[in-house]
Amino acid sequence: MAEQQLQNWVLMVTAQTPTNIAVIKYWGKRDEDLILAINDSISVTLDPAHLCTTTTVAVSPAFDQDRMWLNGKEISLSGGRYQNCLREIRARASDVEDENKGIKIAKKDWQNLHVHVASYNNFPTAAGLASSAAGFACLVFSLAKLMNVQEDNGKLSAIARQGSGSACRSLYGGFVKWIMGKEENGGDSIAVQLVDEKHWDELVIIIAVVSSRQKETSSTSGMRDTVETSALIEHRAKVVVPKRIIQMEEAIQNRDFPTFAQLTCADSNQFHAVCMDTSPPIFYMNDTSHRVISCVEKWNRSEGTPQVAYTFDAGPNAVLIARNRKAATLMLQRLLFHFPPNSDTDLNSYVIGDKSILKDAGIQDIKDVEALPPPPEIKDKVPAQKYKGEISYFICTRPGRGPVLLTDDSHALLNPENGLPK
């Protein structure tokens, strides 16, 4: 080691981790420090092509402290959540040898080596899209690879969980369950994959990012307030959710979209209900969110069977899960009809992600949006209501894979020479 420290080597790993959206919601902790939930939750992992975090972690004897950059800006690592993740990963580090570079790090050396972390979200920040889930999952996954941690993703999920509860679900693709566990130390509070992303590959996901300047209650303080003050949360956690978890797992296994949609919508609404039952009440959805729900509910009812499920996290953005591409196309037409962009917005930045759905919807130009006819289910109600500018943009995506290592050095966010952001 003494010899190596003279060299200014930098060893790096880059990984990409998806974000996820819960269909049975996590809301409420039984342990604030370890981040242990009061109920199981189930999520779908989103395609990292459209929503993911990329993180490069580097180690070098030249680093004199742990440092991190998020989207190019240095942030503090002193928070308990970062410290917990770093400590837990270091404790599981193994010997690492890079013969090409002539680097050898012994298991015990990791306690004295500092790391640099650079993280980048491929979606707009502050859009309320659960960037902390992907972020902590990616931090833990990439550090584990760097430090040659031998544990599987389930064990890693229990570490990511200590950064951000929902992060544990981003360690897998497809549909993922976070088992709340029973142990005091949280060792059994881990994520498991229910099915991979190929199991139900018909599903299409459209995210409506709602324009909003309201400051929202952070989910950490929000769920603490709910657990302390809601008269309904215990009944939800102990009686309602356990049944829904069983039904949801079955619906996912069977690709039973009507049951899946019913449970997804009901559980999103119940999560927002217990937020409202909090003192002081927490309102994450706004009038635009309500309008999106109303649009989906009307269409689903008119079709006789659900075409689209909706779910909302701790913010006004709608995540819409369509049963297939056809339903997604018809949904997007409805959304664009009711929520046309402001006149200074071009279509290309109004619908992002998998733009092929736009094509299927016959929309190539902002003029095509203006020409959309009212959906048949509202045709009798003239004038049809339009809410221009209430949505910032739409992201078209699908269920996706879990974390991957990016071996192509060009993806690294840190400079291989000095371990500083590129």
Per CB under 8 A, residues contacting a copy of itself are 229, 231-232, 235-236, 239-240, 262, 265-266, 269-270, 272-274, 276-281, 283, 286-287, 290, 293, 297, 301
Q: How far is the CB of 282 from a copy of itself (least distance, A)?
A: 10
**265 sits in which H/E element:** helix 257-276
Task: Report how far apart the first and last C-alpha atoms of the chain are (Å, whole number).
Answer: 27
The tokens describing 267, both together, are 């559980």
CA–CA gap between residue 413 and residue 155 (Å, rounded): 26
Q: Which is nearer to a copy of itself, 265 or 413 (CB)?
A: 265
| 126 backbone dihedrals φ, ψ, rounded to 5° | 55, 20
Closest contact distance (angstroms) between CB of 217 and a copy of itself is 11
Question: Residue 415 CB, nearest distance to a copy of itself (Å)?
Answer: 41
CA-CA distance, 163 to 136, in Å (whole number)? 6
Q: For a copy of itself, give the closer residue by CB, 182 or 290.
A: 290
State in angstroms the smallest separation of the CB of 389 from a copy of itself.
15
Nearest CB to a copy of itself, comparing residues 193 and 264: 264
Helices (H), 319-421: 325-338, 347-350, 356-360, 366-370
Largest CA distance in the chain: 81
How many Å apart are CA 248 and CA 265, to the nearest integer?
12
* Strand ranges (E), 71-215: 73-75, 96-98, 103-105, 114-121, 175-178, 191-195, 204-210
Query: Which is closer to a copy of itself, CB of 205 or CB of 274?
Result: 274
Least Å from the CB of residue 289 to a copy of itself:
9
Euclidean distance between CA atoms 260 and 271, whole angstroms: 16
* In the complex, minimum distance from the CB of residue 265 to a copy of itself, in angstroms, rounded to a whole number: 7
At its nearest, how many Å lie between a copy of itself and the CB of residue 79?
25
Could you please report the per-residue DSSP string of 134-165? HHHHHHHHHHHHHTT----HHHHHHHHTTT-G
| CB of 138 or CB of 318, closer to a copy of itself | 318
| Secondary structure tally for the chain: helices H, strands E | 13, 19
Closer by beta carbon to a copy of itself, 269 or else 345: 269
Smallest distance from a copy of itself to CB 271, Å = 9
Of the pair 120, 284, the CB lying nearest a copy of itself is at 284
Closer residue to a copy of itself in complex, CB, 122/262 = 262
